[in-house]
Each structure stands twice: as structure tokens, then as C-alpha cells.
Amino acid sequence: MKHIRFLPFIALILLFISCNSSTVTTQPTPTTTSVARVTPTPTVPTVTPTPTFPTVPNQIVHFKTEDDMTLTGILYGTGKTGIICSHELHANKDIWSTNGFAQRIAAKGYMVLAYDFRGNGDSEGKGNPTKNETDLRAAVSFMRQQNVSSIVLIGSSMGGTATLKVAAHDKMTAIITLSAPQNFGSMVSDDEVRAIQAPKLFINSEDDRFSQETIHMADIASQPKDIHLYPGRLHGVALFDSEYDADVMQRIQNFLARYAPVNQ
């Protein structure tokens, strides 16, 4: 009887021991995160190819104006038909070569003169648009000394105004203007525009600030004449540095082939 009284107590102790021995603390397994390493693809800069133009003979030339100012130009190529290029404001003779115009035309068999108005580029003096006509006349005299049989004048913006002014008073084989105003440095009157007998090609952009003057001069000019306006507002020789370059060049070449061929 004495042992029976201790049985509940012994059972309780055994239960306590059993519970403690069955309790196991499980440590969580650490999770490993895998990070993928991505090697960046090297960026290759986009390189715009440098345009290549024909290689033609060229030389630096100098000539005097009637008021004793020395002007500088570059003479490209050889040929019996001379083309004189007059630049726009805040520019110089280089605007006819950086876009390849002078080289491409000279490669067709023309002698091309790109020159600086006084006070611009490498020419003497101070810039004076009222003297542009005088400077262009000096360029014409120099070109005639090269034994050419015909002369074409091409002018951009204010150079186009000088081109029109000179052509109204001196016989030329043909003239081309790019975005030329009727009044820049000197005024080209309507009567002077009508007096130009040489074939005329007027080129401009539809939204150029001088487009209405271009249209007006083309309207009143005598035949033969042609006019073409490109979309947008590109001014002068900027057309050669645009998507319209090939079309502008082809129009000019077609015009020259018709009115001032190289074998003339």
C-alpha cells in the first residue's frame, strides 16, 4: 500500500521527463540568394561617315578691285566655262568647298572660282555689303583673264543679290541664285531683274524669309528662267547639307549642261 501511494507521483515525473526529451529546437536552414552577374555590352559610338568629294586641282589666287582692294579666292579645276561663287553673310569662300559643291562641279569639267568678299575670309578690308557688286566685278575680270569662253554666276543669299546686280549690267552666260533677297547691300530693281538676259535658275526654300522675293523676281524675269522651292526653311548653301543635296546638285548640273556646257 505504501508503494501504491507513490505511483501517481512517479508517473508524473516520467511524463515530465518524456516531454522534455521529445522537444527538439530546429534551427532554420539559411537561404542563399544567387545573384546573376551581367556583363554590360560595350556601347559602340555611331560614326557618321565623312563625305568624300572628287579631288580636283586647286590653287589660292588673289586679284584687285577697282578701288585697290586685294581679294582672295580658290580656283578649282580647269575648263573653258568659268563659274564664280559668291558667298552669303557671315561666311567666306569655304562654304562652297565644305559641302563639296566646288569640287563636284569642277570635276564635271568647269573652272570654279570661290572668293571672299572684302573683309571676309582672307580678303583685305572691312566687310561692306554695299561693295559686293564691286568685288564680284573684280572676280569676273579675273576669270576672264583665265581665257574662259563663258561665265556663270552663282550666289548664295547676299551673294545672290550681287549676282543679280552684276548680271543686269554685264552679259553673262547664265546665273543661279540660292535664297537671294532683292535688296541686300544694294537694291536690285524690278527693271534690273527684267534686264537680265542670261538664263536664270532661282532656288530657295518655301519658308525662307526671302522666298516671296524669290518668287516675285522669278515671276517678272524674262525667259529663259526656272524656279524651284524646297520644303522647309533651309537658307542658301544649307540646302547642300540636307536631304535635298542630290536634287539641288542635279538641278544645277542639268541647268549648266543646257545653258553653259563644258565644251562651249
CATH of the domain at 138: 3.40.50.1820
**Structural domains counted in the chain:** 1
pLDDT 10s per residue in the chain (264 long)? 444 454 555 555 554 445 444 444 445 554 444 545 555 566 656 655 667 899 999 999 999 999 999 999 999 999 999 999 999 999 999 999 999 999 999 999 999 999 999 999 999 999 999 999 999 999 999 999 999 999 999 999 999 999 999 999 999 999 999 999 999 999 999 999 999 999 999 999 999 999 999 999 999 999 999 999 999 999 999 999 999 999 999 999 999 999 999 976
**Domain assignment of residue 4, yes or no:** no
pTM across the whole model: 0.81
**Domain assignment of residue 153, yes or no:** yes
**DSSP per residue over the chain, as a string?**
-HHHHHHHHHHHHHHHHHHHHH--PPPPPPPPPP----PPPPPPPP-PPPP------EEEEEEE-TTS-EEEEEEES--SEEEEEE--TT--GGGGTTTSHHHHHHTTT-EEEEEPPTTSTT-SS---GGGHHHHHHHHHHHHHTTT-SEEEEEEETHHHHHHHHHHHHS--SEEEEES--SEESEE--HHHHHH--S-EEEEEETTSTTHHHHHHHHHHSPSSEEEEEESS---GGGGGGSTTHHHHHHHHHHHHHHHS-TT-
**Domain assignment of residue 6, yes or no:** no
**Domain assignment of residue 14, yes or no:** no
pLDDT at site 47 = 55
Q: Which domain holds residue 103?
A: 58-259
**Domain assignment of residue 232, yes or no:** yes
**Domain assignment of residue 150, yes or no:** yes
pLDDT at site 138 = 98
pLDDT at site 108 = 96
